[in-house]
Amino acid sequence: MKNKKLVIFISLFIVVAGFIGAKKLYEKSLVQKMEFLASDNFNTFVRDYSPVLGSPDAKVYITEFLDPECESCRAVYPAVKEIMKEFEGKVKLVVRYAPFHGNSVMAVRILEAARAQGKYWEALELLFEKQPEWGDHHNPRPSLIWTYLPTIGIDVERLQKDMENPIILTRLQRDVEDGRMLDVRQTPTFFVNGKPLTSFGIPQLRSLVKDQVEQTTYQ
Amino acid sequence: MGSARSNESKNHAWMFLFLCWVVTLVATAGSLFFSEVMHFPPCVLCWYQRICMYPLVFIYFAGLFPLNRSVLRFTVPLLFTGWIMALYHILVYHGVIPESLTPCTEGVSCAAVFFEWFGFISIPVLSFTAFTVLLILSFCFKVEVSKYEK
């Protein structure tokens, strides 16, 4: 009987230790893969057409794959802005899209068309703010977006014309492909100068940004 | 002599049950690894198979101390259901059954390919293998138990 208990204990230990070990290995290989991609082709993380927030001189890029219809993206947005403020002038935010929801593509087209009117960030904040209404999972009402846009001074008629621009979908497709390359399976997914945020959370993101800012200032 | 043989069968029975427990433990840890570490979203059919697999870790464990002969009454229905689900999943995955006839019209497609080792070892194949091995081990357990019951 004693032997049996020992056997049980050892097998349990092996499985649990194997799980933890495999997790560490997997995360390490992921970081290495991203490092390789970052050194080989940084464009995968930062495309020249992407919306950028922050100082043009900043050396630290926060790449965020987001979806305007995703609740977590809405929830972390204020925290991301706070981090941007804390490291003002040293970091910039690059928005990439990962459209995982039903009306995401439409929302992205609206955002990109708002960009033509110089209202991109206002529109993004507006869509996040009103997301519980237009992007409700049980009863999405994307047509409500038309009623919000004039409140931030957007010419809706012009926007609806700009939305049809085929370049928007071409770029979105590029974002989706890059996302696939970078194993983006959930939103939001963050990379800081090509380093993946392996454990999701605001404090973790802040410390990753802080590390990169320190590294680039001492160089 | 008779009692020695019955003791031996008892030990064999315990061994088979223990192996069942190990297989379920590895299957559970593996499936959690796919979803929690690698972030593969589990599809509907995966969830049905998980429902059949996860409780077995606890049921087999309870059946080991002390060795319980009737443990099969609780495990085989789960095993059989999981086995059918895994078989169905393989057929969907390889396109034998068209996906429109399956319950996976929303969310993650059950036919989505996340990885294939050596070209054929996919997640549904792993699941099917685990359920099949468990059914075989259960049969061996039954044989050993019937030896010492007499």
Q: Out of B26, B29, B41, whose CB is closest to A185?
A: B41
Tell me which chain A residues have a C-beta less than 8 angstroms from the C-beta of B32. 19
Q: Contact A7/B38, CB-based, under 8 Å?
A: no
What pTM was computed for the model?
A: 0.69
Total domains present in chain A:
2
Q: For strand A189-192 and strand A60-66, is the pairing parallel, antiparallel, or unpaired?
A: antiparallel
Level-2 CATH architecture, domain B2-149: Up-down Bundle (1.20)
Domain membership flag for residue A29: yes
H or E element in which residue A99 lies: none
Does residue A7 share a domain with residue A77? no
Does residue A181 share a domain with residue A74? yes
- A197 CB contacts (<8 Å, ≥6 apart)? A189, A190, A191, A204, A205, A208
Does residue A26 share a domain with residue A127? no
Taking the CA atoms of A184, A190, A196 and A199 in sequence, report the sign of the dihedral they define. negative
Does residue A177 share a domain with residue A78? yes
Confidence of residue B102 (pLDDT cuts 50, 70, 90): very low
Nearest to A97, CA basis, from A60, A135, A70, A126: A70
DSSP single-letter state for residue A142: G
Report how far residue B115's alpha carbon sits from residue A185's, in angstroms, rounded to the nearest whole number.
Answer: 14
DSSP single-letter state for residue B117: B
Does residue A82 share a domain with residue A20? no
Q: Which residue of B has its CA nearest to A2?
A: B65
Does residue A189 share a domain with residue A119? yes
A203 token code pair:
């404090």
Confidence of residue B119 (pLDDT cuts 50, 70, 90): low
Could you give the count of Cα atoms lying within 13 Å of B29 in the half-sphere of its Cβ?
A: 19
pLDDT at B93: 82
* Spacing of C-alpha B2 from chain mean position: 34
- A94 CB contacts (<8 Å, ≥6 apart)? A45, A46, A47, A50, A51, A52, A61, A62, A63, A64
Q: Out of B14, B38, B39, whose CB is closest to A4?
A: B14
Reported as a single tens digit per residue, the pLDDT across B29-61 is 999 998 888 878 788 888 999 999 999 999 999
Domain membership flag for residue A174: yes
Q: Which residue of A has its CA nearest to B67?
A: A1
Domain membership flag for residue A219: no
Shortest distance between the Cα of A15 and any Cα of chain B, in A, equals 7
Residue A26's domain comprises: 2-40
CATH number, domain with residue A132: 3.40.30.10
Q: Where are the domains of chain B?
A: 2-149
Domain membership flag for residue A28: yes
Q: Exposed, middle or buried, A183 (CB in 10 Å: 0-12/13-18/19+)?
A: middle
Does residue A63 share a domain with residue A18? no
Reported as a single tens digit per residue, the pLDDT across A88-115 is 889 999 999 998 888 888 999 999 999 9
A212 token code pair:
């990169």
Nearest to B130, CA basis, from B89, B74, B92, B70: B89
ipTM of the shown complex: 0.74
Shortest distance between the Cα of B23 and any Cα of chain A, in A, equals 10
Does residue A180 share a domain with residue A115? yes
Q: Contact B22/A11, CB-based, under 8 Å?
A: yes
